[in-house]
Amino acid sequence: MHRRELSPPVQGPVRRRMARERLIPSSAPRSARSQQRGPSAHTPLRAHFPNSRHGVHAHRHAPSSCRSSQRREICIATPLQSPDGDLVIFRSSVTSSGKPELQEHRSSAKDTVTGDRVAIKKLLRPFQSLVHAKRAYRELRLLKHMNHENVISLLNVFSPDESMESFQTFYVVMPFVPLDLSRVMKMQKLNQSMVVYLLYQILRGLQYIHSAGIVHRDLKPSNLGVDENYEIKILDFGLARQTEPEMTGYVVTRWYRAPEVILNWMHYNQTVDIWSVGCILAEMITGRVLFPGGDYFDELNKIIEVIGSPKPSLINKMESKHAQDYLKMLPEKQKRNFKELFPTMSPLEIDLLDKMLDLDPERRLSAAECLAHPYLEEYHDSDPDPPGEKYDDSFENLDLPISEWKSLSHMEVMTFEPKKPKQQST
């Protein structure tokens, strides 16, 4: 009788690659797949990319020259302003001589040294005010710190301005991510395998960010980049901050905002990001926004309609007397039965969602606890990712004028050592 030999367990990157291959069949040639009409549950996203000019519009003025910390030719493009007006994607050819040559319009760039497509973004008027100057420096520092395959990072940064005196803007070069999760969900209905794989990557990137002591504070589908292989990168660290006791205030797009932030009822921590991911998970499964509030109070009312009223023990813990008084005035609501509210969800999906959307931030799951949930069992690794290097956020306490923040940003730009996409963490 022959003994059957068991294969070693599949772990880490191999397991993730196998899962991705189940989502994206490669038996048919790319040309055949691209001829299909309409996205299906198993169609690679590359077959349904929108036109490269979608979502941007032309901006008139191109930089006269660009100075890079590494002398290499980078093909970029004439400026295209993003819909939110905060960033501009450029397209022109910048050579080592610093003289731009206008190229055909496109929304991404090509690094002629590596051959990789990259995104090039410009912060508009970063030094127009103290708030803008500090935020620009913060975002630059955060991008430089990131080194994880599910988190956007900095490949290069350069400025067209030759001196500190003329320094008015800078451009950041990042890995090119063609779509975001919001567009993907509009393009196709996500099946369970896709939802599990996307959620796993979001939580994996979030665990890295949190282990570095950072709270993203603005997680939403449009801030989750997705490539043609359904690989996720967490984007936009403009609102990110290091974990600290005094964290309060306006953060996160309303529909994905944790209740403790809406009423500013207590100092929050990293679990505000978990609430946002819970809202995103429900949206991936159902295809609709979970709490589409029209304003702050409507948002809170929609949350209470589903999650129920906060318990007296939670209200008593709130540091805001105004929040306590307001919540005591509201009619008491019982928590909805998730099985009835989400009839298509599996018991594991309901259990995880319930624990991510706990009104009490101290009871809400962490990213690591979410990754250990049975819903993500197929991605459980015996060799989890190492924690991220702690982020030095001491500059947040500095009270500096605009000129000093500008000087700090200039120093970061001039001293940055570019890295190639292949050098990113895997």
CATH of the domain at 159: 3.30.200.20
Q: Is residue 248 part of a domain?
A: yes
Clarify whether residues 249 and 223 are in a common domain: yes
pLDDT band (50, 70, 90) for residue 254 = confident
HSE-up of 412 (CA within 13 Å, CB side)? 23
Q: Is residue 146 part of a domain?
A: yes
Q: Is residue 31 part of a domain?
A: no
Query: Structural domain of residue 323, as residue ranges?
Result: 179-379
Clarify whether residues 223 and 363 are in a common domain: yes
Which run of H or E residues covers position 210? helix 192-211
Clarify whether residues 192 and 331 are in a common domain: yes
Clarify whether residues 344 and 195 are in a common domain: yes
How many domains does the chain divide into?
A: 2
Nearest to 368 by CA among 352, 350, 392, 384: 384
Which run of H or E residues covers position 16? helix 12-23
Clarify whether residues 242 and 254 are in a common domain: yes
Q: What is the domain-level CATH number for residue 231?
A: 1.10.510.10
Q: Which residues are catalytic?
A: 218
pTM: 0.75
Which whole-number Å values give the CA distances from 311 to 264, 329, 360, in the listed order? 17, 13, 9
**pLDDT value at residue 311:** 93
Clarify whether residues 67 and 157 are in a common domain: yes
Clarify whether residues 204 and 126 are in a common domain: no
CB count in 10 Å sphere of residue 35: 10
Which residue, chain included where needed, has tokens 């609709």?
Answer: 288
Nearest to 315 by CA among 12, 304, 151, 305: 304
- The residue from 175, 209, 240 where one domain ends is 175
pLDDT single digits (tens) 364-411 = 999 999 999 999 999 998 677 888 899 988 898 899 999 999 999 999
pLDDT band (50, 70, 90) for residue 122 = confident
Q: How large a percentage of the chain has pLDDT more than 70?
A: 69
- Give the separation between CA 155 and CA 108, rounded to whole angstroms: 14
- Give the separation between CA 25 and CA 43, rounded to whole angstroms: 8
Clarify whether residues 210 and 110 are in a common domain: no
- Give the separation between CA 398 and CA 396, rounded to whole angstroms: 6
